[in-house]
Homo-oligomer: A and B are copies of this chain.
C-alpha cells in the first residue's frame, strides 16, 4: 500500500521546507504565486488531507464528543443519539458512540479510552452494573481531569455534573393516574430491579398516584422483572393472583408488550378487560395490536439538550461554570391498549 501523503513528503518533492508547504496550502501571502500553484496542484493530485491526530494534538482539542450508552438496540437510545448528532454536527462537532453493554468494566474501558485526548467531552447514560455496584470513581477521575461530562436518563446524584433527565416520577404518576381515571381498580406495575433508578422513580410516581386517589398500595401488584429469566413466566404470576389486575403499567415498552401478549393469550380483551400502558414511544408501541398507549420520553430532545449543556461546559472550561440539570417532561400518548375516558 502507498502510505499517506504528508507535508514532509511534499516538501521533499519540491525541495522546500515544511512550513512553506503548510503556508502554500493555506494560500498564505507569504508564499509566491508560482510556488503556491505547483504545491497546491501536487497536493490536490495526491489527495492530501491534514492528519487529524497531529492537528488535534497541536490544537489540544478534537472537535469530537464521546457518547457512552448501555445498549444500542433500545429505541430510546437511538433517538437520543439522533438528537445528539443533530446538535453536534450543527456546531461542527463529530460524535463517537461507544456501548457499555450495561457492563461496568466496559463502561470504564470506554471512558478511559475516550478521556485521553480522543474527545473534548463525554455524554453518558450509566450502565446497570455500575448502578448496582455503586462504583463511580471513573466519573470522578474524569471530572478531576477537567473533562466535561454530561449524564442523561440514567444519572448519578452523587456525581457533580450537568444532567438531562426524564421526569420519570411524573411519568409514572401520569401513567398510573390515567389508568385510575379510566376506571382501573387493581393496577399492577412491571418494573426493574431496585438498583435501576429510573425504574424506581417510575415506581414512586405509581405509588404517588395511588396515594393521591386513596387506593391502597398492594405489594403483590409490583413485579420486578429479572431480565435474565423468562419474562413471560414472571408475568404469569400476576395473572394467577386471586384478584388479577385490570390495569398494567410497564416501565418500558417491552414489558408492556409482553404483558399484553400474555393477557390476550389468556383470553383477556385489551382494553376492555384490562388496560395496558407502557413507557417510551418505540416501534413496538406503534406496531403492536392493539397499539400501545404509552408515556413518551422525547429522546431526541434529551440528546439535543445534553449536547447543548456539554458544549457550554467545553467552551467555558476556564471559568467556574455552574452545572445544570434539565428535566424533560413526558407526554401521555393514548392509543388502543387503554380504555377511552
Contact = CB atoms under 8 A, between A and B. Distances in A.
Contact of A49 (B81, B115, B264, B288): B115
Interface in A278-319: 282-284, 287-290, 317-318
Contact of A118 (B52, B79, B99): B52
A87 to B, nearest CB: 13
Interface string A149-192: 00000000000000000000000000000000000000000000
A289 B264 contact: yes
A115 B284 CA distance: 37
A145 interface: yes
Contacts of A118: 52-53
B47 A144 contact: yes
Contacts of A318: 1
Contacts of A289: 261, 264, 288-290
Give the interface residue-count category, chain A: 35 or more
Nearest to A1: B146
Interface in A71-118: 72-73, 75, 78-79, 81-82, 85, 89, 94-99, 101, 106, 110, 112-113, 115-118
A98 B99 contact: no
A1 B143 CA distance: 9
A51 interface: yes
A325 interface: no
26 contacts: A1-B146, A2-B146, A3-B146, A4-B145, A49-B115, A50-B116, A51-B57, A52-B113, A52-B117, A52-B118, A53-B116, A53-B117, A53-B118, A73-B78, A78-B78, A89-B106, A94-B98, A94-B113, A95-B98, A257-B287, A261-B287, A282-B283, A284-B284, A287-B288, A288-B288, A288-B289
Given A5-B145, A54-B117, 20 more contacts: A1-B146, A2-B144, A2-B146, A49-B112, A49-B116, A51-B116, A52-B116, A53-B56, A53-B116, A73-B75, A73-B82, A75-B283, A78-B78, A257-B287, A261-B289, A283-B283, A283-B284, A284-B287, A288-B289, A289-B290
The 7 closest A-B pairs by CB, nearest first: A289-B289, A1-B146, A53-B117, A97-B97, A52-B116, A51-B117, A73-B78
